[in-house]
Amino acid sequence: MKDLLRRRTPSENSGGVRRNSLGTFIVRRVAIGILLMLGITFISFSVTQLVPGDPAALNLGQSAMSDPTIVKAWRVKYGLDKPVPEQYIIYINHLIHGDLGLSQQSRRPVSSDLKEYFPATFELASVAIFFSLIFGLLFGIIAAITRNRWPDQIIRFVTLTGVSVPTFWLSLVFFYLFYFKLSWFPSNGRLDPGTDAPSTITGMYTVDALLHGQFSLFWQAFRHLMLPAIVLAIYTIAVLTRFTRASILEILHNDYVRAARAKGLPESLVIRRHVLRPALLSIVTVAGVAFGNLLAGSVLVENVFSWPGIGQYAYRSSIGLDLPGIMGVSIVVAGIFIIMNLLVDIAYRFIDPSLRHG
Amino acid sequence: MGTLKLGRNRFAAIAGAVALVSSSLILQTTSSNAASERVLVIDSEFNHKTLDPQREFEDGGNMMDRAIYDTLLTFKGSDASKPVPSIALSYTANADSTVYTFKLRKAARFSDGTPLTSADVVYSFDRLKNIKGNPSSLMDGLTATAPDKYTVIITADQPDTAVPVKVAGPEFGIVNSKLVTAHGGYALVGADTKDKAENFLNTTSAGSGPYMLSKFSLTTEVDLVANPKYWGKQPAYSKIVIRNTTQAVQALDVQKGVANIALDLSPKQTDSLSGVNVTAGVSTTVWFLYSNANPAISSITSDPNFQNAVRYALNYSDLTAFAGKGSIQAAGIIPSAFQGALKPADATKQNIALAKADLAKTAYKGEPIGLRYWGGGAWEGISFDDFATVISSQLSAVGINLKLEPTPVGDALTTYRNGTDTMGLWFWGPDWPDSSNYSTNFGPGEKVGLRAGWAANAAPEVTKLINAVAIESDAKKRAAQYRQFQLDLNANSPFIPLIQSPAILVSTKNVIGIATNPIWKVNLTELK
């Protein structure tokens, strides 16, 4: 029976581990991840060099650009006076020592920028994926077990709408409706105007406020978090719903499910033990990738809601040709996907014991 | 099926619980401001990169630094042409405008209580010069010295009538020299590598202005609080919160009263607003076309007849209508607010017959002529793409076939500055609020002139005029020279001035004293 349920994990598909211990597996994946990151730095660096335009032209004003000493001083400051291969070697050398360079936009170390912006995105994406998992699984299961009946039809309509509507437009509509018209949610930003953020522990305001016992501040931060998180979650809810439905329907047609029903097992037990559990293998993969996407792809929502996350930082870096900023974001995004894949593979081992014991 | 029914109930229970939790989270927005505070909230699309006065050069930063740092002179309200006393109570200039002597106010104190003296002024100006930052060129040819504790002398290598307006700019903001030095500041030669005070100045106030910096961010919010040790009258608001918001959000916030002022709305966006005040002024930003005068770039665009054909083919009324309420036709390259600006009657008028006649004198046969601009870019509510499309449509009426070349800003700036584009659509905002900023840039062989392929020897009469106005100390004569300079440009040059952008401020009804200013958008200290 297990063989029927058995799915190939991403690592197996790529010829990865099969019967290793968890420790060895993680060590190997981390080593591969480091090599991948190195490759990504090379690709990112090369691509940013190919982008037309002079970063100095974007960062210096009209008069300053006409003064060769100012332009030279600027290039020296950011290491752009050296040949490109040398710039890359210097960058990697600094990267190994934990130095991501100096942002031309913020004029601060990129690592400091990322330390400030990433927790905001992580907080937003975490709430969004939480909503997505709850509603995506719930709607997916309901749709599957009520296949082609009215609940399924309604969910299909809603989820197709969720997948089709552009997030940017949805952000504006939700903001207009729920903030401006109905006053259900506060305006944009992470806190009300003029409110001091809690002292940084994690950088996530809700968590930090709780850790400091500032419950009113927690509530304020939480209210600000809700609307962008809901907007961000809608697409993922729709995807997870469709995927959960499809996975469950596929499994419902298997002989072993029919056999379980024929044995007279309660339907809830059949769904929970024989359908949901194997379906989770695929759903976890999608959820992992979706979380990575939420972390890396919230640019539009962050812009509309003035959410100071890495999406906004990436946008500012891109339009300002801030090469260290772009590189820093690329490394973070690559790291997110590598880590998410690793976590998904580890989760597989817990969901499907056959992967642990062969 | 009984168990399935139980399952449905569970689903319903979970859904109900989630809905309950979600609905409990939905609350009315509340203000967290203490009743005793007068807080002003401003929505703005952030463009500042720093609040270090000697490094910042964006209008957003200007607005904030204007409130934090005093300057020798300043401007009142919308008038950016007449400097008025600030830290300097008075100043005198010698006959040839090479030596300016400023007498300082003795009562001025920095926010930490330290007296402001001439040493701080000299330190700030030296730092501006030697830091080799974006605004450093403002100090080109200038040297500041302090003969005594409350006197500052600025000496110019060449006659420079713009010194009083230059020192009113926020880049000349006076910092507390001891405090800044103690936090890595360096003002002497070598400051480009030795000065490390920028991060300090992005977190702490080192000025004597009516406000102090209490929170800094490039992406979220900048907070200013009233300086209790301010030497002048205390400002009306005890706290100013400036938030980074998109235009769409600004329109909603200001109508809802969550923000008191929205800085970045376009005229079209203000049409649908209700319950707010709209202050419409005209910006000092001049949009212009150029037709490259370098024959090596294009034998067509360098032909003066082609340039005149473009000049007379345009319908300027439609262009200002396109730009929206507040916009006016740019009669010349110098904006209307400055000395020597042309009058509306001097402006170029559309003349299709003349345009066609001029075009007939050229070798142009209808081939596409590239028009480069910042693709996807917008400034003061005007989209480059839309503006270029309108221009292209107007020129096609006389047979000029433009090939629109929207280009990412970095690349577009590079080719523009290299002078390799056949035609370009750009704007110019003044580095300092004086007509000299235009005569020193738009003449033949000057910075923007060269971008348009206008070589140094291309128009000797114009060059002679530029040289004459640079040393003319009589204001009336200078104004006449600036007018003539622009008339010459309108008659025969690669430049075609188009419009001045509108300057729009939207505020709630309870904000009093709001006025647009071309340097810092709005003077926060004047608001009541």
Q: Per residue in A201-232, pLDDT tens? A: 999 999 999 999 999 999 999 999 999 999 99
Dihedral pair phi/psi, residue B279, rounded to 5°: -100, 110
> What are residue B101's DSSP bridge partners?
B92, B153
**Token pair listed for A51:** 């982008």
C-alpha dihedral over A322, A324, A326, A331, to 10 degrees?
Answer: -170
Answer whether A52 sits within 8 Å of B411, measured CB to CB: yes
Partner-chain contact B431 A69, CB within 8 Å: no
Closest by Cα among B282, B247, B283, B280 to B262: B247
Whether the CB-CB separation of A124 and A295 falls below 8 Å is answered with: no
> Please, which residues 459-498 of chain B have a Cβ atom closer than 8 Å to chain A?
none
Backbone angles phi, psi at A55, to 5 degrees: -55, -35
Q: Which amino acid is at B419?
A: G
Closest CA to B179 of B144, B151, B207: B207
**Using CB atoms, which residue from B18, B241, B256 is nearest to A134?**
B18
Cβ–Cβ contact B256 with A under 8 A: yes
DSSP letters for B293-343? --TTT-TTTTSHHHHHHHHHH--HHHHHHHH-TT-EE-SSSS-TTSTTPPP
Classify residue A215 as exposed, middle or buried by CB count within 10 Å of its CB (0-12, 13-18, 19+). exposed
* Predicted local confidence at residue A8, as pLDDT: 47
Global pTM exceeds 0.80? yes
Of A53, A67, A185, the CB nearest to B408: A53
- Tell whether B34 lies on the interface with A, counting CB pairs under 8 A: no
Give residue B32's pLDDT.
41
Largest Cα separation within chain A, whole Å, is 85
Nearest-neighbour CA in chain B from A57: distance (Å):
6
What's the pLDDT score for residue B33? 44
Q: Would the CB atoms of B417 and A306 count as touching at under 8 Å?
A: no
Residue with tokens 């100013």, as numbered in its chain = B240
How many other CB atoms sit within 10 Å of the CB of residue B339? 20
Q: How far apart are CA A317 and CA A309, in angstroms?
A: 12
Chain B residue closest to A135 (CA)?
B15
Give the type of residue at B221: E
Query: Could you tell me if B180 and B55 are in contact, meaning their C-beta atoms sit under 8 angstroms apart?
Result: no
Pairing between strand B369-374 and B88-93? unpaired
Helix (H) or strand (E) holding A151: helix A150-164
**A60 neighbourhood in chain B, CB within 8 Å:** 134
CB contact under 8 A, B417 and A57: yes
Please tell me whether residue A306 adopts helix, strand or coil conformation: coil
Contact assessment for residue B178 and residue B113, using Cβ atoms and an 8 Å cutoff: no
Instruction: Identify any residues that bridge with B240 across adjacent strands, giving them in sequence order.
Output: B40, B224
- H or E element at residue B155: strand B151-156
Complex ipTM: 0.78
Among partner residues A106, A226, A312, which is closest to B25 by beta-carbon distance? Answer: A226
Shortest alpha-carbon distance between residue B299 and chain A (Å): 27
Minimal C-alpha gap between B88 and chain A (Å): 27
Query: B100 near B142, Cβ under 8 Å?
Result: no
> What string of DSSP letters covers B1-68?
-HHHHHHHHHHHHHHHHHHHHHHHH---------TT--EEEEEE----S---TTT--SHHHHHHHHHH
- The answer to whether B254 touches B508, Cβ cutoff 8 Å, is yes
Mean pLDDT of the A292-298 span = 82
CA angle, A21 as apex, A18 and A26 as ends, to 5°? 90
Ramachandran area for residue A47 (φ above 0: left; ψ -120 to 50: alpha; else beta): alpha
How many Å apart are CA B78 and CA B84, to the nearest integer?
A: 13
DSSP element (H, E) containing B178: helix B177-182
DSSP class of B456? T
Please spell the DSSP secondary structure of A201-260, one letter per residue: SSS-HHHHHHHTT-HHHHHHHHHHHHHHHHHHHHHHHHHHHHHHHHHHHHHHTSHHHHHH
> What is the least distance, in Å, from the CA of B354 to any CA of chain A?
35
Which secondary-structure segment (H or E) carries B92? strand B88-93
- Are residues B394 and B312 in contact, defined by beta-carbon separation less than 8 angstroms? no
Report chain B residues whose CB lies below 8 A from the CB of A79.
Answer: none
DSSP assigned state of A190: S
Which residues in chain A have their CB less than 8 angstroms from residue B29's CB?
A: 179, 183, 185-187, 192
Element (H, E) at B479: helix B475-491
Which residue among B192, B243, B410 places its CB closest to the CB of A321? Answer: B410
Residues 6 or more apart in contact with residue B360 via CB below 8 angstroms: none
Average pLDDT per block of 10 residues along chain B, 528 residues long: 42 47 40 63 92 91 96 92 94 93 97 97 97 91 97 95 94 97 96 93 95 93 96 95 93 95 91 91 94 97 97 98 93 94 96 97 96 91 94 97 91 89 95 90 95 95 93 89 97 97 93 89 90
Amino acid letter at A264? Answer: G
Rounded CA separation B319/B393 (Å)? 11
- Non-local (6+) Cβ contacts of B426 within 8 A are B287, B288, B290, B373, B374, B416
Q: How many CB pairs under 8 A join A and B?
A: 179
Q: Using the Cα atoms of residue B464, residue B470, residue B474 and residue B475 in order, give the sign of their dihedral.
A: positive
Cα separation, A53 vs B413, in Å, equals 8
DSSP string, B341-376: PPPGGGS----HHHHHHHHHTS---S--EEEEEETT
For B289, phi and psi rounded to 5 degrees?
A: -105, 150
CA distances from A265 to B1, B2, B11 (A): 10, 12, 20
d(CA B298, CA A144): 67
Contacts of A54 in chain B (CB under 8 A): 410, 413-414
Query: Alpha carbon B482 to chain centroid distance?
Result: 21
Nearest CB to A183 within list B28, B255, B417: B28
Mean pLDDT taken over chain A: 86
Query: What does the DSSP assignment read for B419-436?
Result: T--SEEEEEE--SSSSTH
Q: Considering CB atoms only, which of A55, A186, A195 is closest to B29?
A: A186
For B458, which DSSP code?
A: S
Tokens of B273: 């607003």
Do residue B409 and residue A135 have CB atoms under 8 angstroms apart?
no
Indicate the pLDDT class of residue A280, thresholds 50, 70 and 90: confident
| Phi, psi for residue A97 in degrees, rounded to 5 | -90, 15
Residue of A nearest to B192 (CA): A73
Report, in angstroms and rounded to the nearest whole number, the Rg of chain A calculated over CA atoms. 24
Torsion over CA: B302, B305, B311, B313 (sign): negative
Give the separation between CA B343 and CA A291, rounded to whole angstroms: 61
Question: How far apart are the C-alpha atoms of B326 and B283, rounded to whole Å?
Answer: 8
C-alpha B193/C-alpha B447 separation (Å) is: 27
Q: Residue B2 and residue B130: Cα distance in Å, rounded? A: 83
Judge whether B12 is closer than 8 Å to chain A, CB to CB.
no
Concatenated DSSP letters for A332-347?
Answer: HHHHHHHHHHHHHHHH
Contact between A267 and B4 using a beta-carbon 8 Å cutoff: yes
B284: enclosing H helix or E strand: strand B277-291
Q: Smallest Cβ distance to A64: which of B3, B25, B134?
A: B134
Please tell me the total number of residues recorded for chain A in this structure: 358
Query: Distance from B246 to chain A by nearest Cα, in Å?
Result: 6
Tokens representing residue A85 in the block: 């291969």
> Using CB atoms, which residue from B136, B248, B413 is nearest to A70?
B136
Distance CA B328, CA B312 (A): 17
- Mean pLDDT along residues A260-273: 86
